[in-house]
Structure 1
Amino acid sequence: MLHKPDARDQTVAAPARIAALDRARTLITLLVVLHHAVINYSYFGNGDRMRWLGFDLVVLFNDSFFMACMFFISGWFVSGSLTRWGPAIYLRRRAWRLGVPFLVSIFVVIPIAYYPSFVRYHTAETTDFNFFHFWWHTITIGPWPSGAAWFLWVLLTLDAIAALLWAAAHRAIGALGQFIDTLRDRPMTAFAAFLAFTIVIYLPMRLVFGDSAWLVPGHYPLPIQTSRILLYAGYFLAGVGVGEAGLSAGLLAENGALARRWMVWLAFALASYGVILLLVYAHHNWISNFESPPLWWHTAYGLAFATFSAAMTFTVPAVFLRFARSSFRLLDAMQPQAYGIYLLHFIPLIWLQYAVYDPAFPAFVKFAIVFAGTLSISWALTVLLRKIPVVARTI
């Protein structure tokens, strides 16, 4: 019998998906796979002996924005989910969606993925090559890497903090959303505020800790880049505020002022990336003490990094919103499997790197094999795993 939906029906109903935002999230996943496939063949890396300097440009480009942008994107959907489910159910769902894959990753996926590295860099005379011996040594003694799964435990922690804030200080989140909503028709002001926010939460941490230090508790697989702790948390919180203001009609409106100025954000990003490259060149050629650059260099690099990160975080959604009616076949096809690809790609990635290590192929050929193979294998494996109902509900 037809009936008017009650309040509970309206609360629990899932919102319609916004293709442009799905594409933004899927693009970051694709960049993660690209980043991990190319880094082994970068000139200044320490992986394969076949290297190319051009790959360093890709690594530097990605590393300077993509994970911060991923946390920003993840925050978009928090407010709507908390509104529909409430903090307790929201946390239970996030624990299933993030916590379970994280445990499977660190106990199963990552040991399988890293086993070829163990075999290559240990001699038969000194090591027991039995996989289960390697697995036990990894989880009891270490090192115990987390691979790409580090993002999951950090995001789950931030989700828990967001749920706590929602329960204890909902008005504060509402006020943040209202503030962001006032900027939807003033995109330059919004960008200036976001850039200032980025500088405040990133630059002091970089000056104190540098940009290469990782915080790792013992040998447990719970790492996070020390200088970016506040950057990731801040971008996630900013994303929560954007979601609170509204996705389809707020700052991220398809025909909104932010989307219409996509070329402005891209220009800011390219200009600041050029400054980053200039500073890297200066570091390698003009600074006498390579291991300890002067304070001015660290400050300049931190400011350029913050500008690039903020500009790219505006550019990615703006481009997809501006061209929402256009076709993005690869991203649209990849979108349902993107999470599984992110979780599983380390297995084919490292095994393929191991397979092409000895042949004297050019660096680009090795990269092409690793990237295409990693993407296609992890994609196909995700499709197969998602035929299992409990897996499909998780990834």
Structure 2
Amino acid sequence: MASSGATLIRPAVAAHRDEVRGAGVARPGYNVALGYLRGFLVVLVLAHHSVLAYIDSPPPQATSLLAQPPYWRAFMVVDSHHWVGFSIFTGFNDDFFMSLMFLLSGLFVWSSLQRKGNASFVRDRMRRLGIPFLFAAAIIAPLAYYPSYLLTTGAHTATGYIHDWLSFGDWPTGPAWFIWLLLAFDLAGAALFAVAPNFGEMLGRLASNAREHPVRFFLLLLAASAATFIPMAVIFGTAAWTSIGPFQFQTARLFHYAVYFLAGIGVGAYGIDRGLLAPDGKLARHWGRWTLWMVVAFLLSVVFFLIAISKNSPLSANSANLIGGAFYALACASISFAFLALFVRFATRRRWIYDSLSENEYGMYLIHYAFVSWLQLAILSSSLPAIEKGILVFAGVLLLSWGASAALRSIPGVSRIV
């Protein structure tokens, strides 16, 4: 399973632009900070997947796609060259970036529901999320996982690959898991809007004092995410995935992600420019404190992780999941708030290259996974150090995904969806 698979937030971008382009209701201007933060997170996802082949102490390369556990779904290619720095980098990413993407994706849900109504909102989300999910699941995922099949033992034929694929009992989709789960959250939001038309304002009230008291909102989010994540982590463990057909998700994080999505709805419903994300609010003004706290919280989680996996650890599995769940929730909220503060404070001027990235981020997310595995396979036999391989693959994935997304978006039918 694609660990963090990362990020589909482009529908939130589209919703934001709908606010700018539509008529009949006052629309805010394009929020440069949030647009560039979304692009930054997409780049992190590409980098994350690009270096997974080179982390320290990876699982063994699969000898069969039918072997259990199916580590190849996250580690499509396992290189013999490793670097501990990539382990720290991917661990840092996994602590926060999917959660923050769900929060960003929720920011414009309330305004879209109010302006479009349920029926139009659902149609829009089915088009923007459902069609790309089918494309990623049916085309990109099989292409991306074919290098894993080529590295298994025995003969390799297209027929053999199809036979193995149809024998899984489910349908691996890689990072596209985020797309369908975001669609599910959007549909749940529409259903809630139908029965409780004021639920957005209710969530907005929870964020109403976040402009001048971001710590209070931070603690509220931390408490809610911990309350949903820790019990799931104790019951299911932190590494388990649920897979039903093409629908996959990280089991312990399901409700944790829902909390972040709802937090985004609340912040957006209250007002992006007058609440937590106000350019002159305390979150942005105190970006230095939040950045320092991010480092402290992440280091605390690393120290606990090292203690938990040590041979002489006094912790039982349940105790490790219980305490580790609390550290995960703390690190996740801390890193998310730090990046929100940094981008709201400093991403204030538009640059054409960042605008291009923002325009193409959704397409890059959808197609990058295929480039990752094939580039990792192409340099597998190279004697280059792990750090150079990781940088080389990331550069190739970034450029190829960016260019391919721009080319696809030049097709009128595609540009209306992506």
State whether residues 111 and 135 of structure 1, in contact with CA within 8 Å, keep that contact through their aligned partners in structure 2.
Answer: no
Query: How far apart, CA to CA, are the structure 1 residues paired with 2:316 and 2:291?
Result: 29
Query: How far apart, CA to CA, are the structure 2 residues paired with 1:87 and 1:143?
Result: 31
Query: How far apart, CA to CA, are the structure 1 residues paired with 2:311 and 2:297?
Result: 20
Shift of 1:18: 0.4
Name the CA shift for 1:153/1:339 in 2 (closer, same or farther; >3 Å). Answer: same
Q: Aligned runs of 1:17-56 on 2, under 5 Å?
A: 17-46=30-59, 47-56=78-87
Query: How far apart, CA to CA, are the structure 1 residues paired with 2:58 and 2:352?
Result: 33
Tell me what 1:5 maps to. none
Secondary structure of the 1:394 match is: coil
Question: Which range moved further: 158-167 or 133-142?
Answer: 133-142
Tell me what 1:350 maps to. 373
Secondary structure of the 1:223 match is: strand
Shift of 1:111: 0.9
Query: How far apart, CA to CA, are the structure 1 residues paired with 2:351 and 2:303?
Result: 33
Tell me what 1:237 maps to. 262
Residue identity opposite 2:411 in structure 1: I
Shift of 1:135: 4.2
Shift of 1:286: 4.9
Tell me what 1:366 maps to. 389
Deviations 1:275-314 (A, max 9, x none): 111122213335358xx84544333321111111011121
Shift of 1:357: 1.0
Name which one, 1 or 2, has greater alpha-carbon Rg.
Answer: 1
Query: How far apart, CA to CA, are the structure 2 residues paired with 1:35 and 1:281?
Result: 21
Deviations 1:5-48 (A, max 9, x none): xxx9414x764210101111111111111110111100122321
Aligned: 1:269 with 2:294: yes
The count of corresponding residues between Structure 1 and Structure 2 is 379
Query: How far apart, CA to CA, are the structure 1 residues paired with 2:248 and 2:223?
Result: 27
Tell me what 1:196 maps to. 223
Tell me what 1:77 maps to. 108
Match of 2:137 among 101, 106, 117: 106
Deviations 1:239-262 (A, max 9, x none): 111110011222211111221122
Deviations 1:57-87 (A, max 9, x none): 0111001111011101100010111122111
Query: How far apart, CA to CA, are the structure 2 residues paired with 1:20 and 1:159?
Result: 23
Aligned: 1:324 with 2:337: no
Match of 2:406 among 367, 383, 386: 383
Match of 1:160 among 166, 187, 193: 187
Secondary structure of the 1:250 match is: coil
Shift of 1:390: 1.0
Query: How far apart, CA to CA, are the structure 1 residues paired with 2:302 and 2:213?
Result: 31
Moved over 4 A (4+): 139-143, 326-330
Query: How far apart, CA to CA, are the structure 1 residues paired with 2:48 and 2:353?
Result: 18
Aligned: 1:255 with 2:280: yes
Query: How far apart, CA to CA, are the structure 2 residues paired with 1:354 and 1:266?
Result: 37
Aligned: 1:221 with 2:252: no
Tell me what 1:10 maps to. 24
Question: Which range moved further: 111-120 or 101-110?
Answer: 111-120
Name the CA shift for 1:135/1:390 in 2 (closer, same or farther; >3 Å). Answer: farther
Tell me what 2:62 maps to. none
Tell me what 1:280 maps to. 305
Name the CA shift for 1:343/1:240 in 2 (closer, same or farther; >3 Å). Answer: same
Name the CA shift for 1:83/1:50 in 2 (closer, same or farther; >3 Å). Answer: same
Secondary structure of the 2:366 match is: helix
Secondary structure of the 1:254 match is: coil
Residue identity opposite 2:412 in structure 1: P
Name the CA shift for 1:328/1:203 in 2 (closer, same or farther; >3 Å). Answer: farther
Query: How far apart, CA to CA, are the structure 2 residues paired with 1:303 and 1:265?
Result: 19
Shift of 1:168: 1.0
Query: How far apart, CA to CA, are the structure 1 residues paired with 2:400 and 2:342?
Result: 29
Name the CA shift for 1:133/1:15 in 2 (closer, same or farther; >3 Å). Answer: farther
State whether residues 181 and 245 of structure 1, in contact with CA within 8 Å, keep that contact through their aligned partners in structure 2.
Answer: yes
Secondary structure of the 2:36 match is: helix
Query: How far apart, CA to CA, are the structure 2 residues paired with 1:174 and 1:134?
Result: 51
State whether residues 32 and 349 of structure 2, in contact with CA within 8 Å, keep that contact through their aligned partners in structure 1.
Answer: no
Tell me what 2:238 maps to. 211
* TM-score between both structures, scaled by the size of structure 1: 0.91
Residue identity opposite 1:297 in structure 2: A
Query: How far apart, CA to CA, are the structure 2 residues paired with 1:281 and 1:133?
Result: 41
Tell me what 2:5 maps to. none
Deviations 1:175-210 (A, max 9, x none): 111231133221121212121122112111112211
Gaps of 5+ in 1: 1-7
* TM-score between both structures, scaled by the size of structure 2: 0.86
Secondary structure of the 1:170 match is: coil
Deviations 1:145-197 (A, max 9, x none): 11110000000000000011112102232111123113322112121212112
Secondary structure of the 2:207 match is: helix
Tell me what 2:146 maps to. 115
